[in-house]
DNA sequence: TATGCCGGGAG
DNA sequence: CTCCCGGCATA
């Protein structure tokens, strides 16, 4: 029976379910409709989505089209959703480009020559198992520390013994010392994050504060305190190089990644601008943290029981850089690139530019969670952040992040 | 009971 | 790989 039902359900799904986005997505609706029919299994009626809107996901077997969104419309190239608008109007749709959540929203994107295949500069981390922002913070702190050290006579003139990493140091502390001899001779010091064993092969999630800006679709505030230093990190896959100047980063990208023979800016079409991002780093915080590493510091010889506890650390850093009470406008999210790639939200974009979407009222702070207790249960405790389900409700399930729709850990409202 | 999401199945 | 859901843990 399921086999006979499948084609019919599939066609039905093509017509009505998820309306336009599935129509854009082609066979996806058919597959889902067929699957729904084939499975024939359902959740208990109590938990089943109610009504027209709620039944959307299972519309292959169920409800009519949602009144919130009109029927199928032209959707030639699956533009991104208004939930996550990440490319300027008029720019061609570049899925790989839009995957990058580190990019400051609204910044102009250069358009590469048509037909030039490019590797994805970065891929959004699907899930963060680490403490939020930990590895990223370590990298950035280390990188920024290098900046200060490179101009400091204190360590540049220090004996070589000071440059040998102590065995008990954490990776980031090693990184603080080790690359002193490996600075590039181009004037811009460089630090290859990919060589750091603490760094993943893909760009790490942004700093909590930075993530907030990407998450909420705002570029990082341009007002910078004197203690805030700007770094530029290459987003190219497996690179992650951090430079102190934008020009240096552009040159790096042009030469290394784009394969330009010359690093002259006039030869560039500006594409390299797309492959790096800015990082704001509080220098006073970093140097405070470094003071304990300095050979001149009396505390250097006393290895702290927990080096991370010794630093002012993420909370101070993030609170120093940005106001934390940012409204969680669901415009940008870590899952945004994926969602935009799908036809799903893509057609929401071309059909409902101003959706009557319920604005989440929660105020998310970017305070990292405290270190989890050892021996914690394998299942991580439920976060107190409102999730898509709670924010949008079952009736607006189409607004959920993909993970929530799939009953996975929410990626939009991270804990 | 509602919710979050892990684990696993289907394609 | 994406998509989906049963079922469990938790609030």
| C-alpha distance from residue A190 to each of A129, A139, A256, A259, A353 (Å) | 28, 13, 13, 18, 43
Q: How do residues A127-156 score in pLDDT, each as one tens digit?
A: 333 333 334 444 444 444 444 444 333 333
Sign of CA dihedral A173, A175, A179, A184: negative
Q: Which residue lies nearest C8, CA-to-C1' measured? A: A379
Q: How do residues A360-409 score in pLDDT, each as one tens digit?
A: 333 333 333 333 334 344 566 666 677 888 888 887 888 888 888 888 88
If one compares A405 and A279, the residue with the highest pLDDT of the two is A405
Nucleotide nearest residue A393, measured CA to C1':
B3
Task: Find the Å distance, CA of residue A295 to C1' of nucleotide B11.
Answer: 60
> Cα separation of A99 and A102, whole Å?
9
Beta strands in A84-123 (DSSP E): none
Nucleotide nearest residue A384, measured CA to C1':
C11
Task: Find the Å distance, CA of residue A390 to C1' of nucleotide B5.
Answer: 14
Q: How do residues A87-139 score in pLDDT, each as one tens digit?
A: 333 333 333 333 333 333 333 333 333 333 343 333 333 333 333 333 444 44
- Kindly report the bases of strand B lying within 7 A of a protein C-beta atom: 2-8, 10-11
Task: Find the Å distance, CA of residue A50 to C1' of nucleotide C7.
Answer: 21
Nucleotide nearest residue A407, measured CA to C1':
B5
The pLDDT of residue A379 is 60
- Joined together, the tokens standing for residue A108 give 């102009």
| Collapsed DSSP state (helix, strand, coil) of residue A398 | helix
**CB of residue A407 closer than 7 A to nucleic acid strand B?**
yes
The pLDDT of residue A380 is 64
| C-alpha distance from residue A58 to each of A37, A194, A387, A389 (Å) | 10, 43, 21, 16
- Direct distance between the N- and C-terminal alpha carbons of chain A, in angstroms, rounded to an integer: 44
* Residue A379 burial (CB count, 10 A): 6
pTM tops 0.85, yes or no: no
How does residue A229 score in pLDDT terms, banded at 50, 70 and 90? low
DSSP state of A270: S
Highest mean pLDDT among A15-19, A347-351, A386-390: A386-390
If one compares A208 and A390, the residue with the highest pLDDT of the two is A390
CB neighbours of A333 closer than 8 A, spacing ≥ 6?
Answer: A83, A84, A101, A215, A339, A401, A411, A412
How does residue A245 score in pLDDT terms, banded at 50, 70 and 90? confident
A343 with A304: CB under 8 angstroms? no
> Cα separation of A1 and A15, whole Å?
21
The pLDDT of residue A366 is 39
| Collapsed DSSP state (helix, strand, coil) of residue A215 | helix
Per residue, the 3-state secondary structure of A342-385, as one string, reads: CHHHHHHHHHCCCCCCCCCCCCECCCCCCCCCCCCCCCCCCCCC
Task: Find the Å distance, CA of residue A38 to C1' of nucleotide B8.
Answer: 18
The pLDDT of residue A392 is 84
Chain-centre distance of CA A183, in angstroms? 28
How does residue A169 score in pLDDT terms, banded at 50, 70 and 90? very low
Interhelix angle A313-321/A283-291, rounded to 10 degrees, is 160
The pLDDT of residue A234 is 72
Chain-centre distance of CA A51, in angstroms? 34
If one compares A75 and A391, the residue with the highest pLDDT of the two is A391
| Secondary structure (DSSP) of A274-334 | GGEEEEEEEHHHHHHHHHTTSTT-GGGGS--S-HHHHS-HHHHHHHHHS-S-B---TTS-T
**CB of residue A46 closer than 7 A to nucleic acid strand B?**
yes
Sign of CA dihedral A306, A311, A316, A322: negative
The pLDDT of residue A408 is 86
Nearest to A335 by CA among A238, A400, A240: A400
């Amino acid at each position: 029976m399921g086999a006979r039902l499948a084609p019919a359900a599939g066609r039905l799904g093509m017509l009505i379910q998820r309306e336009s986005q599935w129509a854009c997505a082609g066979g996806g609706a058919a597959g889902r409709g067929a699957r729904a029919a084939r499975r024939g299994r359902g959740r208990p009626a109590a938990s089943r989505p109610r009504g027209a809107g709620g039944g959307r996901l299972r519309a292959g077997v169920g409800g009519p089209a949602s009144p919130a969104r009109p029927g199928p419309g032209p959707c030639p190239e699956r533009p991104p959703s208004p939930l996550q608008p990440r490319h300027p109007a008029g720019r061609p749709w570049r899925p790989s480009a839009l995957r990058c959540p580190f990019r400051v929203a609204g910044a102009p994107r250069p358009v590469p020559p048509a037909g030039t295949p490019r590797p994805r500069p970065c891929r959004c981390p699907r899930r963060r198992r680490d403490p939020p922002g930990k590895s990223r913070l370590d990298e950035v702190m280390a990188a920024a520390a290098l900046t200060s050290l490179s101009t400091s006579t204190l360590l540049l003139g220090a004996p070589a013994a000071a440059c040998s990493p102590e065995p008990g140091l954490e990776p980031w502390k090693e990184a603080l010392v080790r690359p002193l001899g490996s600075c590039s001779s181009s004037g811009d010091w460089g630090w290859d994050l990919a060589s750091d064993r603490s760094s993943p092969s893909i760009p790490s999630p942004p700093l909590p504060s930075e993530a907030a800006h990407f998450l909420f679709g705002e570029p990082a505030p341009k007002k910078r305190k004197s203690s805030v230093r700007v770094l530029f990190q290459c987003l190219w896959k497996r690179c992650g190089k951090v430079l102190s100047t934008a020009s240096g980063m552009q040159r790096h990208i042009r030469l290394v990644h784009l394969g330009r023979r010359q690093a002259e800016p006039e030869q560039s079409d500006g594409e390299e601008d797309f492959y790096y991002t800015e990082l704001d780093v509080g220098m006073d915080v970093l140097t405070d943290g470094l003071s304990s590493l300095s050979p001149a510091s009396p505390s250097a010889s006393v290895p702290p029981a927990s080096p991370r506890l010794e630093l002012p650390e993420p909370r101070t850093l993030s609170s120093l850089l940005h106001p934390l009470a940012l409204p969680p406008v669901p415009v940008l999210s870590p899952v945004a690139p994926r969602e935009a790639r799908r036809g799903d939200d893509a057609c929401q974009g071309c059909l409902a530019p101003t959706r009557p979407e319920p604005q989440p009222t929660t105020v998310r702070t970017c305070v990292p969670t405290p270190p989890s207790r050892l021996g914690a249960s394998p299942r991580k405790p439920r976060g107190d952040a409102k999730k898509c389900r709670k924010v949008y409700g079952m009736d607006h399930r189409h607004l959920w992040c993909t993970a929530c729709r799939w009953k996975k850990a929410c990626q939009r409202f991270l804990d």
